[in-house]
Structure 1
Amino acid sequence: MILRNKIYHCSASIATAGGGVKTYINGLYRVMPDAFGTEIIANLLEYDQSHFHLLHIHEASALAPVNNQCPVVFTAHNHDVYCASGTKYLAASKTSCDRLLNGLGCTWGHFIDGCGSRRPPQVLKNWQRASTELDALKKLGILTIANSDYVRSQLIANGLPPSQVVTLLCGIAPPESKHTPLTPAVHDQKRILFAGRIVPEKGLDWLLRAVPLLDRRIHLDIAGDGWAMPQVWRLAEDLQISDRLTWHGWCQGEKLENLYRESFAVIFPSVWPEPAGLVTLEAYVRFRAVIASAVGGIPEHIQDGKTGILVVPHQVEQLALAITELATNFDKARMIGIAGNELFHNEFTLNIHAQRLQKIYDAAIAKQV
């Protein structure tokens, strides 16, 4: 039963499979308990849309049935709506893609630049999906939320009017367990942390290449898993640094929390243009300095030199110097962690995010009236 005074989230994949966006929606339910209906709408064709107070769509594939009979907002959580492969990353040249969505460029990107599948049926499918979804978003004219100015710039470059797109930076919930600022004892352990999927675009390979340039006392904890594990494992063997790494596999709960506690810095070496990059916020909320790639939406969350350190992707020596700087300067590592935590509480809590989101909802409703 649809309640006319409630906002409903809409996404087929979230309704059936969950994932990061489902975690985000669950967070909104907690901080805005009176705003939403509990049902996640998987198929709009099964509903009379005029009965909705407002729809919040979370995947572009759900745009096709929208008929503008109620207020609607759409969040671009990723690059899918303007990128056929969804990566905006050219694996062959290890660079971000600066092309707009178009048939020739995207075909070249798949086959030559390695941005996605090279199988012709999948290339065609990717292109048709993205072009159809982008066209739908343009024709509907619904208010679109970008999770960074980088994503907003891509949406506008691909044809959406600036007035249709608003940036709303991410917010996250704090961990349930307690975290405190860096201590001399933890700093003396000389441990750094990588937490994330082990796939080429996450940049673990060039972080590993930086390890031989570091003081041998610095130890890298790797919390994650992924299909590129065999490659990075062999790389570590070739670099003769296996004794300076610990592979923890996929971690969650207190095991992951303890890895944060035992580190003096979190390394976020992504080489693809992350739409936002929540690793930064995860470090902030735990009082840990973050060293991150200056790519995509990541720099919008970091005050370089104050709440973190930005480095150019693939610049191994620059990354090594940044790690060494924090490894040898306890006061700086601690103060960056404290400043990041302060920025988190001023800008990136889920409550602050929800307050800003409510204003966007109000604007969409006012536009429909």
Structure 2
Amino acid sequence: MRIAHYAPDLWAPGGIATYVDRLTNAQRSAGHDVLWLCHTPQGNAPLPPDAHVVTASTLYAEARAHGVDILHAHRDLPTPIPTALPLIRTMHGHQGGCPSGTRYLRRSGMPCNRTYHPVGCLRMHLQERCGSCRPHKMWRNIRRLQRERAQTHTVMTAAVSMYVQQMMVRAGCYVDNIVVCPSPAPIVKPFTMPPRNSPSVLYAGRIAPEKGLLWLLRAMADVDTSAALHIAGTGTDAHMQAVHDEVEALALTNRVHFHGWCDDEALTGLMNMAWLVVVPSVWNEPAGLVPLDAAAHGRFVIASSAGGLPEYVAPDASTLVPPNDTDALTRALRNALSDYDRLATCGAEAQHHAEVTFSATHTANAYERLYAQAMNPADAPLTS
């Protein structure tokens, strides 16, 4: 089968590119021919191998010219949707259930679990700044959600978590065309024990208010002073400055170490050094590659109980805490860091869970079945 994966920014480092890369490798191992379609890279970003530049207006023509059997989109599809080209869409975010795509109340600093309603959501744009409050941008967000909702009537959509699927259905998307297809985990062998005498915590991800790093810093201030926090990630200058200011205000300068953006090799080094990984999101994460990466490396995870994160942690090697509950996060950190032997035992269980439940091969097989449905609509009709 010749498969084309499409996202405008597949060249950008981050969650979707990592997801597609893992899926591509599994599909090629299964004997499929896979290529990537993306827009022109920004700045000096290199074009990934086997990637071809398209635009929104040339996407479908280029897919046909490359003779693809299935076009697998990881961002919104340009309209109008062609009827003769088999399509699959993976919904990685909240665009199908939230006008702003954030599900985050910026002023309150809390996740949003509202059911979509145009009037209510526009009011939240104004009150909570969950999205732009400029009239033309608010209207653009509403229109985008309406397009996403309409496309689910003709395009089979794979949601990355049950949470995302439920929010889409609540927003009026076509339930019969939405399935849940979990993200793939990396394969990491062998299991490596963290250094016993150097307790450390790892945060990996973007540095932005909704990611909860400031919340984690406040909890770390009340944890055993021998435990260090390693931060792998970057953000805007303003967000980075806010984090550095908080580190200084909490007198954590000697315990917090910034590593910037890390490639796979550098991140593996930090994972192997860490006793546990914390995912302190205060927004509704659609899913979570970081918990999968942590589990694959055999690391215990502490995560907020928001969005799709509870679906992605290893049940016997994790602790979930309510978003922004500093006391609960502090207790979870203290409990985990106080028992090295338990962390090591749980780490082996976490690695097994990632390998069995979230293998890239499993994800590729699930998509192969969806591709077959999209390519044979007469046998498996997509619309009612």
Tell me the TM-score normalised to structure 2 length. 0.85
Query: Within 1, Cα distance between the matches of 2:9 and 2:225?
Result: 45
Tell me the percent identity.
31
**Mapping of 1:100-139 within 5 angstroms?**
100-138=115-153
The 3-state SS of whatever aligns with 2:4 is strand
**CA distance in structure 1 between the aligned counterparts of 2:97 and 2:284, rounded to whole angstroms:** 13
Runs of 5+ consecutive residues of structure 1 not aligned to the other structure: none
Partner of 1:300: 311
- Report the equivalent of 1:55: 71
Amino acid at match of 1:90: L
Shift in CA distance, 9/368, structure 1 to aligned 2, threshold 3 Å: farther
2-side partners of 1:207 and 1:230: how far apart? 16
**CA distance in 1: counterparts of 2:60 and 2:372, whole angstroms:** 25
Contact 2:23–2:363 (Cα < 8 Å) also in 1: no
Distance in 1 (alpha carbons) for counterparts of 2:63 and 2:281: 43
Q: Distance in 1 between matches of 2:202 and 2:357?
A: 24
Amino acid at match of 1:301: Y
- Relative distance call for 1:48 and 1:293 in structure 2 (3 A) is closer
The offset of 1:287, in angstroms, is 1.0
8 Å contact 1:29–1:36 — kept in the other structure? no
Aligned-pair CA distance for 1:217 = 0.9
Shift, 1:54, TM fit = 2.5
Letter in 1 for 2:251: Q
**Alignment partner for residue 108 of structure 2, among 75, 93, 106?**
93
Partner-residue secondary structure (3-state), 1:170:
coil
Superposition RMSD on alpha carbons, in Å? Answer: 2.3
Q: Distance in 2 between matches of 1:39 and 1:314?
A: 39
Asked whether the equivalents of residues 145 and 168 of structure 1 are also in contact (C-alpha less than 8 Å), the reply is: yes
* Alignment TM-score, normalising by the size of structure 1: 0.89
Contact 1:181/1:288, CA 8 A, preserved across alignment: no
How far has the Cα of 1:257 moved from its partner? 2.0
Question: Structure 1 residues 37-46 or 204-213, which shifts more?
Answer: 37-46
Distance 1:312 1:145, change over 3 A: same
Name the SS for the 1:209 alignment partner. Answer: helix
- CA 1:180 to 1:11, structure 2 compared with 1: closer, same or farther past 3 Å? closer
Larger deviation, residues 211-220 vs 126-135:
126-135
Whichever structure has more helix as a proportion of its residues is 1
Deviations 1:92-115 (A, max 9, x none): 222222233333222212221121
Partner of 1:40: 37
1:327 is matched with 337
How far apart are 1:200 and its partner, in Å? 0.5
Q: Which moved more, 1:343-352 or 1:46-55?
A: 46-55
| CA distance 1:193–1:47, shift in 2 (3 Å) | closer
Q: Compare 68-77 and 278-287 and name the one that shifted more.
A: 68-77
- Greater mean alpha carbon deviation, residues 229-238 or residues 193-202: 229-238
Per the alignment, residue 280 of structure 1 pairs with 291
**Which residue does the alignment assign to 2:47?**
none
Within 1, Cα distance between the matches of 2:185 and 2:374?
Answer: 24
Q: Is the 8 A contact 2:94 2:164 kept in 1?
A: yes
Q: When the two structures are aligned, how many residues end up with a matched partner? A: 356
Aligned partner of 1:222 among 231, 241, 250:
231
- The aligned residue for residue 23 of structure 2 is 28
CA change 1:214–1:124 in 2 (3 A) is same
**8 Å contact 2:22–2:184 — kept in the other structure?**
no
Structure 2 unaligned runs (5+)?
A: 39-53, 380-384
How far apart, in 2, do the equivalents of 1:273 and 1:155 lie? 14
Counterpart in 2 of 1:257?
268
Q: 1:55 to 1:253 in 2, by over 3 A?
A: closer
